[in-house]
Amino acid sequence: MNVQLIVACDQRGVIGTREGGLPWDLPVDKAHFRRQSAGRWMLFGRATFEEMHGWFTNQRALVLSGATNYQPAAPGIHVRSISDALAVAREANAPGLLVAGGARVFAATLPLADQLIVTHVDVDWQSEHQDSPLARGDLPRFPKIDPRRWRLLRRVDHPADDDHPWPLAICWYQRGSHGL
C-alpha cells in the first residue's frame, strides 16, 4: 500500500493554530490540495475531519478516533488505529492512502510513508503572530523532514502576492537515502 502524506507547514513545522483550524488561507494551496486529493482514499484524525465537514466531494475518508462508537458526521469510515486504516484500504483494493493530518496522525504515519507532498509556507507564523491568542503555546506541527531520509523529487514555487502574504514552495519528496 503506497502511503503519501500531504501537509502545509511553516518554517518551524506549524500546521494549525492553538484553537484548531489552519493558520492561513492560501488559495494556491487549497487548489493544490483539491487536485491531489480528488478521488483518493484519505486518512484523517477526528479533529481535522470535523473541521473539513462540507469540503468532501469524491474522496473516501477514513477517520481515526479511539472512541468505540464514533459516528463521522460527513460520510466517512471510522477506524480505531492506523493499522485498521491500512487494512480497510487494502481490503477495498485502494491503490494508495493519502494522509491529511493532523499532527498526531502525521507523527504516527511518517515512518510508514513512501512520499510526502509538502507546501512549505515561508514564514515563522508563531513569531509573526505573537500578539494573537491563536499563536500561543504549543501548536500542532509536522515532524522535521530529515534530508538523509527524504529525496526532493519536484519543487514548484509560488511567490507572495495579494492573496498570499508569504512565498510557498510545493515539494514532492520520496523516501530514499540520497539526500537533497
Site residues, ligand NAP (CB under 6 A): 7-8, 15-17, 20-22, 45-48, 51, 64-67, 70, 80-82, 100-105, 108, 140
Query: Judged by CB, which is closer to ligand NAP: 87, or 148?
Result: 87
The residue among 76 and 102 lying less far from ligand NAP, judged by its C-beta, is: 102
Task: Give DSSP secondary structure letters for 76-137.
Answer: -EEESSHHHHHHHHHHTT-SEEEE---HHHHHHHGGG-SEEEEEEE-S-HHHHTTTSGGGSS
Cα dist from 27 to 48, 87, 161, 165, 176, whole Å: 19, 34, 11, 11, 31
Cβ-based nearer residue to ligand NAP, 53 or 148:
53
At closest approach, how far in Å is the CB of 85 from ligand NAP? 9
Supply 147's cell numbers. 534530508
By C-beta, is 68 or 177 nearer to ligand NAP?
68
Nearest-CB residue for ligand NAP: 102
